[in-house]
Structure 1
Amino acid sequence: MSRLSALILAGLLAVPLLAAPPRGELPRTVAVTSNQVAVPPPAMGWASWNSFAANINAGVIKRQADAMVAAGLPAAGYKYVNIDEGWWQGTRDSGGNITVDLNEWPGGMAAIADYIHSKGLKAGIYTDAGRDGCGYYYPTGRPAAPGSGSEGHYAQDMLQFSRWGFDFVKVDWCGGSAEGLDPQATYRSISAAVAQAAATTGRALLLSICEWGVKSPWDWGAGLGAMWRTSTDIIYWGQTANQSMVLTNFDRGLHPAAQHTGYVNDPDMMIAGMPGLTAAQNRTHLNLWAISGAPLLLGADLSTLDATTVAALKNADVVAVDQDARGLQAVKVADDAGKQTYAKVLSGSGRRAVALLNRTGSAATMTVRWADLGLATTSASVRNAWTGQTSSAATSYSVSVPAFDSVLLTVSGTEAAAATYEAEAAGNTRGGSAAVVACAGCSGGQKVGSVGNGGTLRFNGVASANGGYAVVSIAYVNGDAGGRTATLQVNGRAATVVAFPPTGSWTTAGSVSVVVPLNPGSSNTLTFANSGAWAPDLDAIEVRGLSGGLGIVGAQSGRCVDVDGAGSTNGAKVQLWDCNNQGNQAWASTSGKALTVYGTKCLDAYNGGTTNGTAVVIWDCNGQANQQWTVGSDGTIRGVQSGLCLDAYNNGTANATKLVLWACGGGANQRWTVG
């Protein structure tokens, strides 16, 4: 820190100061990306629901634990044996403690947890956020009695689970939904109960939030639970597994800005190995969960798996992609009418995982370009995760992908240039600046860039040539024995809690990474804040762009072309909305002049309309002229069939303004920036 910066900081902090742990300056010669600190990986194991529903008892669970060990799955990383709904019929003793049927669970729940642990595995259990659990509202396999939820007993139940020896708790939302509870507030209370239980017993208890994605838990789940469901169940009791189930939950689970530092999106337990899926479909299922960095929680009956399925589940290259220590989720970087490329930034330098997904009915040669991965256009090594074949390529790599199939690759190349923004109070010669806002509890020795206790730090002027997703590596110091947190807000959008594991000392630098959506230009702001607890010392950020879906921004409104409510049904309204880089604003331009979203839906002039006011919607891509568009150098987007322009109706600029076709007139409400 310069003397000038120190004087500026001293002026900002002319308030009574709280005592603070010692702080250390990061070595200025250390690159942001060096010493990437490993974050907790997504959970791996098995859960009982998909194969057994509520028909479970100690015998069922023991047989599955034994089968997991016999198949060699623990050596591949599968550790959790999770007891889902159906274990408890809602009874409590006079002290309010959960009691169970000892005929079904001899020795009680502590005994089954002990058995699981005796196999070298971890034990998981289940409850509901409401008064009554899912089995009460939706009897499946057998009905549940009332009272099988934890509402009113959060602290008591979490402590009991921990004392029984459980390592994982899934908290469902059937009762919470039926009662109209507020998800964020409810799970905040449950999270606090989990933390208190762990502090009391000394046993970590991983919290799985199962709110089904109704109220966007990806916006608030980080810092409350280790994982949160992003959709409804992948399969319902009595159904036969199919690939459509896999694709639906995969699509709904992609929220890359939410997944980082040990907090993950959960597209639900897997159906790999269940009746109905072929060996190739099992491989694609694994590819998609791995590229998502999703929990690998199997739902098949482990005692019935064939050797081919077991070998697939144990594929070391695939598991390594899922469990990568950087903890990020893939971003869709290319989409040509259902031929999709997803890229995940891996730990280390110049390493990427790439899933090529062909959702069409014909085999296709698909190409991944280094530039789309944030890599330099120099020679890179490419490895196929399933064949083990390794080759090298100069600027891109092409491979044939069968219909409705996928290929998973790992690419090792050279990082493209990135921008670094240092935590200084004034200008930064390396391309950016950060402003420190007064913090109420900083010590006199606290460096510029520390969030501290109650502080705020802004990185201003963060640039992105075309907008879209970027990987931000955050350099920091945390000399404590435990992790610290700070909230990150990008351009005023919903904040997320970022975890900063210990770096070993107050003079040792580390970095963790997040994926953030940036607007085009150089006016992006990343704000780190902290309240009520000490954050780490933050020093600098490094920003590396990834190619992603095209944002289409209105020249007059500054808002993005958006699918209403993230809808995916035919006829869903297309409108203006604040740009947020979510999947319902990520458009892809195809060689056939289509503009696609979600991979298989096209921007469509409703019912082939060619008159002023024709609604613009999304529809299954069909190659017809009412789904073809010409993007002009003048900023217009013209319908090939109609010759009319994409138009913000009635010069509207507000959220929810509908988009229509209208005679091209040169107005700002008909001009768009695509990129």
Structure 2
Amino acid sequence: MRFAVRLLAPLALLAGLVTAAATGPAPEPVPVPVAVTGTQVPVPPPPMGWASWNTFAAKINASVIRAQADALVSSGLAAAGYTYVNIDEGWWQGTRDAAGNITVDTAEWPGGMAAIADYLHSKGLKAGIYTDAGRDGCGYYYPTGRPAAPGSGSEGHYAQDMLQFSRWGFDFVKVDWCGGSAEGLDPQSTYRAISAAVTAATASTGRPLTLSICNWGVQSPWNWAPGLGTMWRTSGDIIYYGQTATQAMVLANFDQGVHPTAQHTGYYNDPDMMIAGMPGLTAAQNRTHLGLWAISGAPLLIGDDVATMDATTLATLRNAEVIAVDQDPRGLQGVKVAQDAQGRQVYGKVLSGSGRRAVLLLNRTSTAAAMTVRWADLGLAATTATVRNLWSATNAGSFASSYTVNVPANESVLLTVTGTEAAASTYEAEAAGNTRTGATVAACAGCSGGSKVGGIGNGGTLRFNAVTAAAAGLAVATIAYANGDTATRTATLQVNGQPSTVVAFPPTGSWTTPGTVSVIVQLTAGSANTLTFGNAAAWAPDLDAVEVRALSGAAAPATVRIQGVQSGRCLDVNNSSTTNGVQLQLWDCNGQSNQAWTQTSSRQLTVYGSKCLDAYNSGTTNGTTVVIWDCNGQANQQWNVNADGTITSALSGLCLDASNRGTANGTKIILWACGSGTNQRWTLS
């Protein structure tokens, strides 16, 4: 591999780069015949462990936590990777000393919180703790097992509390949103301040503190949380204390947690702690639950009582091959790649190495079915591939182009498939038409010679232009880079006009040693895609090339954008929300997943794979709002796409309408009697 910008590059070369970037448009780039061959750099995996809330609510103390820690070790779960012991709400009743430091009841926590952290560390475990972003935490608004506890949040004490947690010896902090919600705080700016406090605490104590952002998906944290925290909740609680666990709970949180463009390089969507093993789920449902969390690369936090867990559940949670899918060092999320019939879904996850995929076939229906995974659906070449069943721990054999297996009703099958990668295109940083701005020479502690030329530069950008996709959809972008520092560096990636995401680049060993990390990107059809890497605060890694490979083949469900004829804008789910009842709107077309619609054979228009275009409350009158809702097969979710460009509700016959003939971003979508206006005409492309 060649690096276009190298360590100690001559100033003349540097000047030439800057001049070239300033002289105007360059010829369109073309993929170059070089491979991104650097070693895949392992990224931090999603956290694994146990959390106290689902089983104990606020009724916790040192004895409860020690007993669960002991059980994690004696059961073999700790050896399997479940090392975090996360103390949730209820450990603290909002008391502080005169200096504002948190105080606790030492009758419940002998020796204080430092003592319980020490105990967990003595068992080879990691210690997690909990607080709220607001002034009054969840124990005040929703007391469960203890009296309401005012003042049990960290607002006004972010820096002080994070430093105190770190000094006590905690390795993980979950920051909830009850107080933040009640006070109307802004999630993004609030968690940015908390993240800064975590960073400062780590710098002060030298103890890394993993931040779990728990604001239940409010304001779509997948659009802004990568780089602020290791994980962010994508939905409400999977279960409320005292409820009986159901598979519907599992599926609802799984569906809301699929945001693959946000999950990469050590940052994770969090569908909440697991309910596997809790009363209400069968052994098969427990396996499906763990399989869903594994295929999505979710944090694996057990919520059951480990001390009383039955042997079957223990064996399920300890399955090393399933855990390996979740903990895969490439760090990507699985996505739905096929649905040949309603409720029969195939999910694929790109694993580390070459040609390796995890596959979950999920049968949501009440009838057993033969389900097929095609290699093209997985972005693999149509050559022989080997298949392994992870729950039975058996090799199924080698198959050409596809594999079919019977999946029982309301169950799943989890596989790995090892084949040959399909073709990909590589774009070099210095190929014609790709632009680099902001490159400057700067002092670089630890760099050979004391300085280097940054791959992006402080405040600069690197654009890979004319990235081509045969069809709109998801692709894996593998980035070749070098980072000779001892710490992870970051850059901000933006694809087309979509929300940006912070990408982490771990050290590669030296500035001349290449490595790769991968992200999933949403592309539009054609050659108008642009991947822009920027770094506004510090030196970025030295980026060399990007390899782009379609995540799935033509067999995957085709997505379309629904574009208003009058406005030229697209049918859009506001802020990429996944919440039932969010009204649709017009917005500039950008190719993002919240504008990617799939037509099904049952006349549904779906987004995110599980949400349907819905006439709210089965409305049949003018002005009925058009929203997203969990797909349920009802007539208010069935639509006719007509030759005249109208889209009509199968229930009411009314037309999909941009309200008040609006054309601006944010114009709401409603149903209205069909007329001749172009605000009721749509193109699907």
SS of equivalent residue, structure 2 residue 345: strand
Does residue 294 (structure 1) correspond to residue 298 (structure 2)? The answer is yes
2:169 corresponding residue in structure 1: 165
Query: How far did residue 503 of structure 1 move?
Result: 0.3
2:26 corresponding residue in structure 1: none
Residues 536 and 569 (structure 1), Cα distance of their counterparts in 2 relative to 1, 3 Å cut? closer
2:598 corresponding residue in structure 1: 588
SS of equivalent residue, structure 1 residue 333: strand
1:475 corresponding residue in structure 2: 480
Q: Is the CA contact (8 Å cut-off) linking 2:71 and 2:306 kept in structure 1?
A: yes
Amino acid at match of 1:470: A
Does residue 155 (structure 1) correspond to residue 164 (structure 2)? The answer is no
Provide Cα deviations, 1:637-660, integer angstroms capped at 9, x if missing partner: 788899998776787644435365
1:411 corresponding residue in structure 2: 417
Query: How far did residue 423 of structure 1 move?
Result: 0.4
Residues 558 and 327 (structure 1), Cα distance of their counterparts in 2 relative to 1, 3 Å cut? farther
Provide Cα deviations, 1:567-624, integer angstroms capped at 9, x if missing partner: 7788865554344556554433434454444555555678999999998666745386
Structure 2 matches for 1:168-567, cutoff 5 A? 168-335=172-339, 336-389=341-394, 390-424=396-430, 427=432, 433-439=433-439, 450-547=455-552, 550-554=559-563, 556=565, 557-563=567-573
2:587 corresponding residue in structure 1: 577
Separation (CA, whole Å) in 2 of partners of 1:569 and 1:209 = 18
Provide TM-score, normalisation by structure 2: 0.87
Provide Cα deviations, 1:300-347, integer angstroms capped at 9, x if missing partner: 111111000000001112101100000011122223322222211111
1:627 corresponding residue in structure 2: 638
Q: Is the CA contact (8 Å cut-off) linking 1:288 and 1:355 kept in structure 2?
A: yes
Q: Which runs of 5+ in 2 are unaligned?
A: 20-31
Deviates more, 1:378-387 or 1:445-454: 445-454
Separation (CA, whole Å) in 2 of partners of 1:647 and 1:313 = 49
SS of equivalent residue, structure 1 residue 417: coil
Residues 616 and 454 (structure 1), Cα distance of their counterparts in 2 relative to 1, 3 Å cut? closer
Q: Is the CA contact (8 Å cut-off) linking 2:220 and 2:576 kept in structure 1?
A: no
Query: How far did residue 559 of structure 1 move?
Result: 3.6
Amino acid at match of 1:281: Q
SS of equivalent residue, structure 2 residue 159: helix
Amino acid at match of 2:542: D
Residues 2 and 568 (structure 1), Cα distance of their counterparts in 2 relative to 1, 3 Å cut? closer
Deviates more, 1:89-98 or 1:269-278: 89-98
Amino acid at match of 1:188: R
1:53 corresponding residue in structure 2: 57
Separation (CA, whole Å) in 1 of partners of 2:577 and 2:217 = 14
Provide Cα deviations, 1:212-231, integer angstroms capped at 9, x if missing partner: 11121111111111111111
Q: Is the CA contact (8 Å cut-off) linking 2:476 and 2:549 kept in structure 1?
A: yes
Residues 136 and 562 (structure 1), Cα distance of their counterparts in 2 relative to 1, 3 Å cut? same
Separation (CA, whole Å) in 2 of partners of 1:97 and 1:612 = 58
Residues 210 and 593 (structure 1), Cα distance of their counterparts in 2 relative to 1, 3 Å cut? closer
Separation (CA, whole Å) in 2 of partners of 1:100 and 1:613 = 55
SS of equivalent residue, structure 2 residue 211: strand
Provide Cα deviations, 1:123-179, integer angstroms capped at 9, x if missing partner: 111111222221011111112432222222222211111111111111111122222
Q: Is the CA contact (8 Å cut-off) linking 2:614 and 2:636 kept in structure 1?
A: no
Provide TM-score, normalisation by structure 1: 0.88
* Percentage of identical aligned residues: 69
Amino acid at match of 1:507: T
Q: How many residues align?
A: 654
Q: Is the CA contact (8 Å cut-off) linking 1:436 and 1:448 kept in structure 2?
A: no
Structure 2 matches for 1:652-671, cutoff 5 A? 653-655=663-665, 656=667, 658=669, 670=681
Query: How far did residue 439 of structure 1 move?
Result: 3.9
Q: Is the CA contact (8 Å cut-off) linking 1:648 and 1:670 kept in structure 2?
A: no
Q: Is the CA contact (8 Å cut-off) linking 1:555 and 1:673 kept in structure 2?
A: no
Q: Which runs of 5+ in 1 are unaligned?
A: 15-27, 428-432
2:147 corresponding residue in structure 1: 143
Deviates more, 1:123-132 or 1:258-267: 123-132
Amino acid at match of 1:132: D
Residues 496 and 88 (structure 1), Cα distance of their counterparts in 2 relative to 1, 3 Å cut? same
Separation (CA, whole Å) in 1 of partners of 2:471 and 2:33 = 30
Q: Is the CA contact (8 Å cut-off) linking 1:449 and 1:539 kept in structure 2?
A: no
Deviates more, 1:119-128 or 1:31-40: 31-40
Separation (CA, whole Å) in 2 of partners of 1:613 and 1:636 = 16
Residues 109 and 414 (structure 1), Cα distance of their counterparts in 2 relative to 1, 3 Å cut? same
Query: How far did residue 69 of structure 1 move?
Result: 0.9
SS of equivalent residue, structure 2 residue 329: coil
